[in-house]
Amino acid sequence: MNFTEFVRNYHIQLNEQQMQAVQATEGPVLLLAVPGSGKTTVLVSRLGYMIYCLGITPESILTVTYTVAATNDMRRRFAGMFGEADAERLEFRTINGISQKVLQYFAYRTGKTPFQVADKEASAAVKQSFLEVTGKYATENDIKETQLDITYAKNMRLTPEKIRDMDTDVEKFPEIFRTYNAKLRQMQMIDYDDQMIYALRILEQYPEVLAHFREQYRYFCVDEAQDTSKIQHDMIDLLAAQSRNLFMVGDEDQSIYGFRAAYPQALVSFEDRHPGAGILLMETNYRSRQEIVRAADTLIQKNKNRHPKKMTAAREGGGSVTEIKAVSRQGQYNYLLKVAQDCEQETAVLYRNNESALPIIDLLERKGLSCRVKNSDMTFFSHPVVNDICDFIQLSLDPWDGEAFLRIYYKMGAGISKKAAMEAVDANTRRLTLLDTVAEMDEVSVYTRKQCKALATHLDNMRYESAGKAIYRILNYMGYQEFMDTHGLDSGKAEILKALGDQENSLFDFPARLQKLQEMMREGYGDPKSNFILSTIHSSKGLEYTRVYLADMLAGVIPSQIPGRGCVPDSPEANAYEEERRLYYVGMTRAKEQLYVFTFGPNLTSAFSGEVFEKTKPLNAVRKTGTAVGIRGSLLKTPDKKVQKLPPREVEACIATCESGREVQHQKYGTGRIASVSADGIAQILFAGENSTRKISLPIAFSGKILTLK
């Protein structure tokens, strides 16, 4: 069967570039396929051409995919086009699948017991290692960050010296890395990254094993090559070195998994790695309308570390790229709420970080509207910034909470020593708040005394504000923004938390709302049939939607930072910035008909939005700080005028009369009846119309005139 008969018999429709790619079967070939160009169709058609036109046995072809889902999809596509029988003869595997096969064959040849791969055991080992090295219990965020860094170090084949120099937010990562690997060895287990390391080592050190697989596989097809890591490229290159029949399909412009050790440089340097290699292009986008394609291509052309290519649209006319000017981040969320209220066509809201979905989900749930959520990442709720702000809130609601105080006393910019903080907690009689106790200590400085008094007033006033205003006070009046800036913490988490707080009128109710949102995400919130879709850009890769909104396209979010003026091309800093632009590009190219991008003003809008809409490139936002009080450059602003409170003696008199059964009136919850009162003045109160009691601090409630006796 010749090629013409092949495409006619199997009803295959290909353009000229696609036909060239299908027939490129010998030697090393790199196929660069722009978004929506039909690469899966080409890959499947090429497999059929090799089998039915060239007579190549299916068993000699190895097709490598990035994920198990992609493996199953490609097998299904082939079976649908050419039949189930030959689909079963073809081998579709992930790199880990290949590695497993190598290890099993090695065990068979040597008579050794096959390696056992850790799954849950690996996660437990991370937790244990983190605790042993840092002395702290790992949060979900800690576990995620540590696991990503472990994967990166192993996939990039980093030496111990390079691991020590890694740019990581994980405390004492090199020590955790060593401890983790030692625990795996003790259990006589390996993780999925080790699986590749050992497989490659076996292929390099045992010629007979390498010869076996080279004899078995004569043709290699690699899908999503831009997402493949360095160690994976090294393994594929080694297996294909003899036959040299390596067909890689990818697009360095869509490489967005650098944090997982994706190695797009292997595509850029493909001709150097494989002398005499052919470079083919598929530049026609069949997904998006012309305006979207034009805007996306204009953006990605600004990257330098790439093969030259120009994306064109097959679907001319129609479509649009629209800038939505939002007054604020909250204005963006309110706009999306209106979109969700009248969403009759498939609409995706795409963003960089999972937490960007939370303010939208919060608004939707309050209005009883549905959405489809593609990500249920929980790490936001255990992030250090979120934990810190919640501790500030807890200390406002309970100024005697020693645990919360000890976690944040040094983050307030008040110069409180550990000794003073511990003594305040130990001496806690509830006569004075913990901050007031520190302020009365003879050994503290004048500066610390003034700062503690200012902080105590801020905490006092927070209780009478909305949660959003209280969080604003924590950030801008109580020194925490300065702490984040000094320690390089992600202030975006604080912005998301404030957006959630803006919807909660009472600070007292905010912790419960956060808990509810966390439970909603843990249980898999969302309706799989909803037209309104929330997803990270990373999770949307390979997908398409009729209408796309790019949300939170902010300076400091995407791009996370702008290279300095002295940045050298092809430096780590420059390459990182180009990956940021690629992420934006991938988000744009998910849209079929309409693309909407939120902008926020010259100092807040993403630099890439400026490139799309041909504006002057904005600079990173500069946060303005207010005038400080105190001495030695205090971080604290002058507190608001103190709220009028009930005198202490009257508060004590009210508390003394509180007993089970006593009726009370709450400013927000209305009439209630006391169920119980603890020794430290915490009452359980059942309010009218509610099924469960609420925990109320009587000293705080009476002092602020929130609660009165009936």
Mean pLDDT of the region 441-462: 93
Higher pLDDT, 261 or 363: 363
CA–CA gap between residue 494 and residue 655 (Å, rounded):
36
pLDDT, one tens digit per residue, over 238-273 is 999 999 999 999 999 999 999 888 989 999 999 999
Higher pLDDT, 460 or 651: 460
Q: Is residue 495 scored above 80 in pLDDT?
A: yes
HSE value, Cβ hemisphere, 13 Å, CA-based, for 707: 27
Q: Is residue 406 scored above 50 in pLDDT?
A: yes
Question: Which residue in this structure is represented by tokens 């010998």?
Answer: 26
Q: Is residue 621 scored above 60 in pLDDT?
A: no
Residue 296 contacts residue 611 (beta carbons within 8 Å):
no
Residue 643 contacts residue 464 (beta carbons within 8 Å):
yes
Q: Is residue 636 scored above 70 in pLDDT?
A: no
Residue 507 contacts residue 465 (beta carbons within 8 Å):
yes
Q: Is residue 103 scored above 60 in pLDDT?
A: yes
CA–CA gap between residue 223 and residue 230 (Å, rounded):
15
Of 90, 96, 97, 4, give the one whose Cα is nearest residue 53.
4
Phi, psi of 663 (to 5 degrees): -85, 140
In this structure, the strands spanning 682-687 and 670-677 are antiparallel
Q: Is residue 98 scored above 60 in pLDDT?
A: yes
Label residue 632 by pLDDT band (50, 70, 90).
Answer: very low
Residue 640 contacts residue 461 (beta carbons within 8 Å):
yes
Of 328, 666, 607, 595, give the one whose Cα is nearest residue 468.
328
Task: Please spell the DSSP secondary structure of 382-418, one letter per residue.
Answer: G-HHHHHHHHHHHHHH-TT-HHHHHHHGGGSSS---H
Q: Which two tokens stand for residue 95?
A: 């790199």
pLDDT of res. 697: 80
* 670-677, strands of its sheet edge to edge: 694-697, 682-687, 670-677, 663-666, 707-709
Q: Is residue 693 scored above 80 in pLDDT?
A: yes
Q: Is residue 151 scored above 60 in pLDDT?
A: yes
Percent of the chain with pLDDT over 70: 95
CA–CA gap between residue 181 and residue 197 (Å, rounded):
13
| Per-residue buried b or exposed e for 545-583, using 16+ beta carbons within 10 Å of the residue's own CB | bebbbbbbbbbbbbbeebbeeeeeeeeeebbbbbbbbbb
Q: Is residue 598 scored above 50 in pLDDT?
A: yes
Q: Is residue 410 scored above 60 in pLDDT?
A: yes
pLDDT, one tens digit per residue, over 549-558 is 999 999 889 9
Task: Kindly state the DSSP code that residue 345 receives in the 8-state scheme.
Answer: S
Residues 6 or more apart whose CB falls under 8 angstroms from that of 205 comprise none
Label residue 633 by pLDDT band (50, 70, 90).
Answer: very low
Q: Is residue 710 scored above 70 in pLDDT?
A: yes
Question: Which residue in this structure is represented by tokens 């890959």?
Answer: 43
Label residue 571 by pLDDT band (50, 70, 90).
Answer: confident
Question: Which residue in this structure is represented by tokens 């094993």?
Answer: 209
pLDDT of res. 99: 95
pLDDT, one tens digit per residue, over 470-489 is 999 999 999 899 898 888 88
Give the least confident one: 198-207, 528-537, 613-622.
Answer: 613-622
How far, rounded to the nearest angstrom, does the alpha carbon of residue 618 sit from its chain's CA centroid? 24
End-to-end CA distance of the chain: 94
CA dihedral of 674, 679, 682, 684, whole degrees rounded to 10 = -30
Neighbours of 110 (CB within 10 A): 11
Neighbours of 227 (CB within 10 A): 21
Mean pLDDT of the region 281-289: 96
Mean pLDDT of the region 87-110: 94
Q: Which two tokens stand for residue 391?
A: 């501790």
| Per-residue buried b or exposed e for 354-385, using 16+ beta carbons within 10 Å of the residue's own CB | bbbbbbbbbbbeeeebbbbbbbebebbbbbbb
Phi, psi of 221 (to 5 degrees): -120, 130
CA distance readout (Å), 134 to 63, 131, 179, 370: 43, 5, 11, 42
Neighbours of 67 (CB within 10 A): 13
pLDDT of res. 634: 44
CA–CA gap between residue 464 and residue 680 (Å, rounded):
22
Neighbours of 247 (CB within 10 A): 28
pLDDT of res. 205: 96
